[in-house]
Chain A
Amino acid sequence: MSTPEHPDFLWRTPEPKRHYDVVIVGGGGHGLATAHYLARNHGITNVAVLERGWLAGGNMARNTTLIRSNYLWDESAAIYEHSLKLWEGLEEDLDYPILFSQRGVLNLAHTEQDVRDSVRRVEANRLNGIDAEWLGPDEVAKICPIVNVSDGIRYPVQGATYQPRAGIAKHDYVAWGFARRADEAGIDIIQNCEVTDFVVDGDRVTSVRTSRGDIACGTVALCAAGHTSVLLDRLGVRTPLQSHPLQALVSELLEPVHPTIVMSNAVHVYVSQAHKGELVMGAGVDGYNGYGRRGAFHVIERQMAAAVELFPVFARAHLLRSWAGIVDVTPDASPVVGHTPYENVLVNAGWGTGGFKATPGIGWAFADTVAHGRPHPLVAPFALDRFVTGALVDEHGAAGVAH
């Protein structure tokens, strides 16, 4: 498939103003989507997106772009399905190509416990109006003929859940599409502008300190992914966020061989094939906390071993590149969204290994939260205080390897 021509500049490069009604920290997918929906849904345009590096240079352009909504719990299903519905109309809304391709996802089950959990998740998904099916090994092979469903492997495939509406998109085009629309609405996107500290007055932040001077603000909306806790440390706000390197890799370009997305939590790998033809693979985070944007090679080796076991046809494919992003994980594998002890500081973080798919959904709901100063119903269950009340949204089953 050929990729579209892009104009030389999709957004302006403005000098920061001295005051904005809303300062969004972080120019990744979530910050840019929040900016777009602030303008589109709420008419709020005196907004800056401050990005310390280049636009979408964080996880937004490092992720493997899997989009799905087949999460177990009602709270997660609601926000991810809201997001998936927005993906389905996003190209028109942004008036920009994003190569969203709904090719479906198979989440493989390899043990009896896997099978029970998977069937339960299918039933839960259906009750939430999400497309989900349970498939036996033969049906898995019909959808994806290159998966090894024989008994000859260490953990034979016992079946899979299938969500036909799941898919992939082109991550950088998504970021550029949001950025272009936010810019058109008058929002300032300011790159090479690192937020280093906050100026505080009582329980309000009056300005953000940046590498390009102080900027006064009405509301601060944190969308800094893996660096969120570093910023909140400056305010003395503790969170249960832990930052880890998460790696992914691509093969050389191949003819189309892989028609869908395959994920395996038990064997520990997931694979899709991008539009250009490279196989895109990943698994779980590197074990230790890290901000180094690189991970250990043994983690890659394990993923490759799992991939070759499940897809014998990949044995001779060459690994082209591997890389890492810094993801912010939480104890229950669910995000942290909403208020902080500072009245005008709102946080959107903790999406860990799975926040790309949420980009339009959280942009929509977080913009609404910022605009009205109260949690949108879709994000209310993800407030920071759930770690005190005990109302966790434990998505480890649906989110471990499967981003």
Chain B
Amino acid sequence: MQLITCPWCGPREETEFRYGGQADLAYPADPSALDDEQWARFVFFRDNPEGAFAERWCHDAGCRRWLRAVRDTRTYVFAETRPYGRTA
């Protein structure tokens, strides 16, 4: 089991965390202006890189706060974790 460094709680076992998928997806600024194609992209389509991936994780069994991680999807090694911010 690997350790994930929570920005608030420090290194914790991965079972304490929940995965939240791709980071930095902005809710559409003007939702009613979107057509079906654009909605499909927002709701269903996500990046799926083989390599560095910016992701959301939630420290469910700890402080319950969201963090933003950059993780390599080939090695699963976390390059960084930091508080999830609106301006991320």
Using a CB–CB distance below 8 Å, which chain A residues touch chain B?
227, 229-230, 233, 238-243, 287-292, 296-298, 331, 387-390
Shortest Cβ distance from A302 into B: residue: B15
User: Is B15 a contact of A298 with CB atoms below 8 Å?
Assistant: yes
- With a cutoff of 8 Å between Cβ atoms, the chain A residues found around residue B71 in the complex are 288
- With a cutoff of 8 Å between Cβ atoms, the chain A residues found around residue B46 in the complex are 240, 242
User: Is A292 a contact of B74 with CB atoms below 8 Å?
Assistant: yes
User: Is A291 a contact of B36 with CB atoms below 8 Å?
Assistant: no
User: Is B50 a contact of A230 with CB atoms below 8 Å?
Assistant: yes
Cβ of B53 < 8 Å from any Cβ of A?
yes
Cβ of B27 < 8 Å from any Cβ of A?
no
CA distance A387 to B43 in the complex (A): 9
User: Is A227 a contact of B50 with CB atoms below 8 Å?
Assistant: yes
Q: Contacting B75 at CB < 8 Å: which of A227, A288, A292?
A: A292
Shortest Cβ distance from A242 into B: residue: B48
Q: How far is the CB of A246 from chain B (nearest CB, A)?
A: 14
User: Is B48 a contact of A229 with CB atoms below 8 Å?
Assistant: yes
- 12 more CB-based (< 8 A) A-B contacts, given A239-B45, A288-B71: A229-B48, A238-B41, A240-B46, A242-B46, A287-B18, A289-B21, A289-B73, A290-B74, A291-B73, A291-B74, A298-B1, A387-B44
- Label chain A's interface by main secondary structure: loop
Q: How far is the CB of B60 from chain A (nearest CB, A)?
A: 11
User: Is B48 a contact of A241 with CB atoms below 8 Å?
Assistant: yes
CA distance A274 to B45 in the complex (A): 38
Q: Scan residues 1-40 of chain B and give those whose CB is less than 8 A from a CB of chain A.
A: 1-2, 14-15, 18-19, 21, 36-37, 40
Size of the chain B interface, CB-CB below 8 angstroms: 25
- With a cutoff of 8 Å between Cβ atoms, the chain A residues found around residue B76 in the complex are 288, 290, 292
- With a cutoff of 8 Å between Cβ atoms, the chain A residues found around residue B37 in the complex are 388
- With a cutoff of 8 Å between Cβ atoms, the chain A residues found around residue B73 in the complex are 243, 288-292
CA distance A238 to B23 in the complex (A): 17
- With a cutoff of 8 Å between Cβ atoms, the chain A residues found around residue B21 in the complex are 242, 289
Shortest Cβ distance from B18 into A: residue: A287
Given A292-B73, A292-B75, are A287 and B50 neighbors across the interface (CB < 8 Å)?
Answer: no
Given A227-B50, A289-B73, A291-B74, are A240 and B36 neighbors across the interface (CB < 8 Å)?
Answer: no
Given A387-B40, A389-B36, are A296 and B48 neighbors across the interface (CB < 8 Å)?
Answer: no
- With a cutoff of 8 Å between Cβ atoms, the chain A residues found around residue B15 in the complex are 298
Q: Contacting B1 at CB < 8 Å: which of A241, A291, A292, A296?
A: A296
Shortest Cβ distance from A287 into B: residue: B19
- With a cutoff of 8 Å between Cβ atoms, the chain A residues found around residue B43 in the complex are 387
CA distance A227 to B73 in the complex (A): 12
Q: Scan residues 48-81 of chain B and give those whose CB is less than 8 A from a CB of chain A.
A: 48-50, 53, 55, 71, 73-76
CA distance A242 to B21 in the complex (A): 10
CA distance A230 to B45 in the complex (A): 14
